Amino acid sequence: MDLDLTGKTAVVTGASRGIGLAVAELLAAEGVRVVGAARTITPELEKVAAATVSADLSTSEGVRTVVDAALDHLGGIDILVNNVGGSDVDRLALGGFLDSTDEHWQRYLDLNLFSAVRATRAALPSLLERRGAIVNVSSISARLPASGPAGYGESKAALTSFGKRLSEEFGPRGVRVNTVSPGPVGTRVWLADDHFAATIAAAQGVSHADLLASLPGRFGITTGRITEPQEVAALIAFLASAKAANIVGGEIVIDGGVVKTA
């Protein structure tokens, strides 16, 4: 399907790897000029992006730097993909609520919610002028908060609610806002030997490989496999395109059937 995106411009946060990189690659292949933002810029992102910006998107200064650079490079923003999220592996806590701290919760809120709030506020004047689209990347942990560290699912639930609020206010003015909520995705969060899944495996006394093999059963994934980043990217690109012109305020789950309720 031709998404008719040639000549459009986009800002993708958290674009150096995983879902963000897959989005940047796909949008670029569709003819979109992409500004990719992340703390660490990878060669893979530099290869496909019209410009890259290294910034800490958990801070207001970092977000402002990204949007200002995007406006300078692109002349305007048609698409904003608020993808940055998660947390640093050394800040992840595997315990329950009583093991979490204020700093722990604030970190999740800054990265998963306020990064999107700030980026959206900064980009909205251009998005309104161009009648653009925003896609927020949330998580099924917003629906299943006990499936992740304390604070993660709650911050993603706030992000999902934020998307609904934006769509009500700005949908009538021509800016479409939608949310994509993936389940487990084949990114470094699960696959890397120094990230979240490896930490869980060590805590449970099993190998990383055995933990990965058990994921479909642990999550009750109907398809028997986790989602690939390119599959999430395809959904995001579709929602950002005019082919999805009447999808507004939606939350689309892509999880292989983990969430069993409507």
The count of other CB atoms within 10 Å of the CB of residue 108 is 27
- The pLDDT assigned to 90 comes to 47
Architecture per CATH, domain 9-183+229-253, reads as 3-Layer(aba) Sandwich (3.40)
Per annotation, catalytic residue among 152, 162, 170, 190: 152
Residue 134 has pLDDT above 90, yes or no: yes
What is residue 96's three-state secondary structure?
Answer: coil
* Burial degree of 218 (CB within 10 A; 0-12, 13-18, 19+): exposed
The count of other CB atoms within 10 Å of the CB of residue 8 is 24
Identity of the amino acid at 198: A
- The pLDDT assigned to 91 comes to 53
Mean pLDDT, residues 163-175 taken together: 98
Calpha distance 153→209 (Å, rounded):
25
194 near 89, Cβ under 8 Å?
Answer: yes
Domain ranges of the chain: 9-183+229-253, 185-226
Q: What is the pLDDT of residues 59-102, one digit of tens each?
A: 999 999 999 999 999 999 999 999 998 755 445 556 789 988 99
Mean pLDDT, residues 52-63 taken together: 97
Residue 254 has pLDDT above 50, yes or no: yes
Least confident range from 6-20, 200-214, 222-236, 245-259: namely: 200-214
In the residue annotation, 108 being an active-site residue is answered as: no
Select from 241, 133, 141, 231 the least CA-distant residue to 181.
141
Calpha distance 65→55 (Å, rounded):
7
What letter would DSSP give residue 118?
H
Calpha distance 192→81 (Å, rounded):
24
Highest mean pLDDT among 98-102, 133-137, 144-148: 133-137
What is residue 204's three-state secondary structure?
Answer: helix
Q: What is the pLDDT of residues 224-235, one digit of tens each?
A: 999 999 999 999
